[in-house]
C-alpha cells in the first residue's frame, strides 16, 4: 500500500515552459513534504519542502503547492531548463523528521527538451 | 568535498554469497541511513543510526545487518544474498533530525544472480 504516489512516471516539457510534477498521499498524519531531485548515477539531493501549515513555498524557479483537503501536492518549475532533466521524488513525513521517517513516492522522470 | 562515500559502486553476487557495502561520511553527522530503491519504486529505509553504537530497523530490514562503531562509518552487510536484494542502495547522513538536511551517497548497484 503506497502512501505516497507519483502517478506520472515521466513528463516531457519544452525548454522555457512550465513543468508540473504531481504527488498524492493517503496518510492524513503527514504534515511535512519534501521534493528531491536525482540525476543518473548520483544520489538524490534535497530541492524544496513545505509544512502543512502553508499552502505554497517558493524558491527561485521552484514552487511547491500543497492542497491538504485533496491530499495533493505539486512542484512547479518555471521556466524549465534542460538541466532540470532528472528524476524527482516526492516524500512525506509526520513532522519534519529525517530519513528514518520519510515515505517516498516512486519518482517522475522529467525531460526538458531544448 | 567528499560528503557521503559508498563503495563499491557496482557488484554482482551469486545467490547465497555475503558482502558488505561500505559507507563513510566526513561531515560529522550523527544520523546515518541505508535505503534501497527498486525500479519504479521510491526509496525504502533498511536501517538507520542516530549515533555511534545505536542502530535501528527501518521498513525493510530483513536480510541485512548494520553496525555503527564510529561516527563516520555505517556499513551494510548482506547475508546469504537473494535475487530479491537486487537493487540500488543509497547511504545517507544528516546533521539534524530534519529531512531537509539529508545528504545521499551516489548509490551502489547490486545484482544477485
Predicted local distance difference test score (pLDDT) of residue A94: 81
Residues 6+ apart with CB under 8 A from A94: A27, A29, A30, A31, A32, A101
Coil, strand or helix: which one is B11? Answer: strand
Predicted local distance difference test score (pLDDT) of residue B66: 97
C-alpha–C-alpha distance, residues A11 and A4, integer Å = 18
Q: Among candidates B6, B87, B101, which has minimal Cα distance to A96?
A: B101
Predicted local distance difference test score (pLDDT) of residue A31: 87
Residue in chain A closest to B10 (alpha carbons) equals: A41
Q: Among candidates A1, A18, A9, which has minimal Cα distance to A106?
A: A9
Predicted local distance difference test score (pLDDT) of residue A100: 60
Q: Quick check: A4 contacting B, CB < 8 Å?
A: yes
Test mutation, A24, A95, A100, chain B, max B CBs within 10 A:
A100
For B33-88, the pLDDT digits (tens) are: 999 999 878 899 999 999 999 999 998 999 999 999 999 999 999 999 999 999 99
| Contact (CB<8Å) A4/B42 | yes
**Grid coordinates in use for B27?**
561531515
Q: Quick check: B79 contacting A, CB < 8 Å?
A: no
Q: Quick one: three-class SS letters along A82-101?
A: HHHCEEEEEEEECCCCCHHH
- Asked if residue A79 has a cis previous peptide bond (ω within 30° of 0), the answer is yes
Coil, strand or helix: which one is A51? Answer: strand
For A2-25, the pLDDT digits (tens) are: 899 999 999 999 999 999 999 999
Using the predicted structure, report yes or no on whether residue B92 has a pLDDT greater than 80.
yes
Mean pLDDT value across chain B: 92
Query: What is the average pLDDT across A68-86?
Result: 97
Predicted local distance difference test score (pLDDT) of residue A62: 98
| Contact (CB<8Å) A105/B99 | no
Check if the beta carbon of residue B102 is closer than 8 Å to that of residue B2.
no
C-alpha–C-alpha distance, residues B78 and B46, integer Å = 11
Check if the beta carbon of residue A59 is closer than 8 Å to that of residue A81.
no
Q: Quick check: B4 contacting A, CB < 8 Å?
A: yes
**Grid coordinates in use for A66?**
500543497
For A80-106, the pLDDT digits (tens) are: 999 999 999 999 988 655 556 788 999
Confidence of residue B99 (pLDDT cuts 50, 70, 90): low
With beta carbons under 8 A apart, name residues in chain B contacting A32.
Answer: 99
Predicted local distance difference test score (pLDDT) of residue B102: 86
Residues 6+ apart with CB under 8 A from B103: A43, A45, B3, B4, B25, B27, B29, B92, B93, B94
Residue in chain A closest to B58 (alpha carbons) equals: A100
Coil, strand or helix: which one is A12? Answer: strand
Amino acid at each position: 500500500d503506497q502512501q505516497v504516489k507519483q502517478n506520472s512516471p515521466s513528463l516531457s516539457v519544452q525548454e522555457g515552459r512550465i513543468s508540473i510534477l504531481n504527488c498524492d498521499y493517503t496518510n492524513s498524519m503527514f504534515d511535512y513534504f519534501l521534493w528531491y531531485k536525482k540525476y543518473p548515477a548520483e544520489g538524490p539531493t534535497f530541492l524544496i519542502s513545505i509544512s502543512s501549515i502553508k499552502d505554497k513555498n517558493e524558491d527561485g524557479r521552484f514552487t511547491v503547492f500543497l492542497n491538504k483537503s485533496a491530499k495533493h501536492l505539486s512542484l512547479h518549475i518555471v521556466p524549465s531548463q534542460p538541466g532540470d532533466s532528472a528524476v524527482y521524488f516526492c516524500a512525506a513525513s509526520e513532522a519534519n523528521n529525517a530519513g528514518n521517517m520519510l515515505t517516498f513516492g516512486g519518482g517522475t522522470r522529467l525531460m526538458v527538451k531544448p | 568535498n567528499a560528503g557521503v562515500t559508498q563503495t563499491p559502486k557496482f557488484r554482482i553476487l551469486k545467490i547465497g554469497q555475503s558482502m558488505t557495502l561500505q559507507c563513510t561520511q566526513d561531515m560529522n553527522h550523527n544520523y546515518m541511513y541505508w535505503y534501497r530503491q527498486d525500479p519504479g519504486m521510491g526509496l525504502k529505509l533498511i536501517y538507520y543510526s542516530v549515533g555511534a553504537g545505536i542502530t535501528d530497523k527501518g521498513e525493510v530490514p530483513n536480510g541485512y545487518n548494520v553496525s555503527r562503531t564510529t561516527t563516520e562509518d555505517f556499513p551494510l552487510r548482506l547475508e546469504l544474498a537473494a535475487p530479491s536484494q537486487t537493487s540500488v542502495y543509497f547511504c545517507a547522513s544528516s546533521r539534524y533530525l530534519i529531512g531537509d538536511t539529508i545528504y545521499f551517497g551516489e548509490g551502489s548497484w547490486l545484482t544477485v544472480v
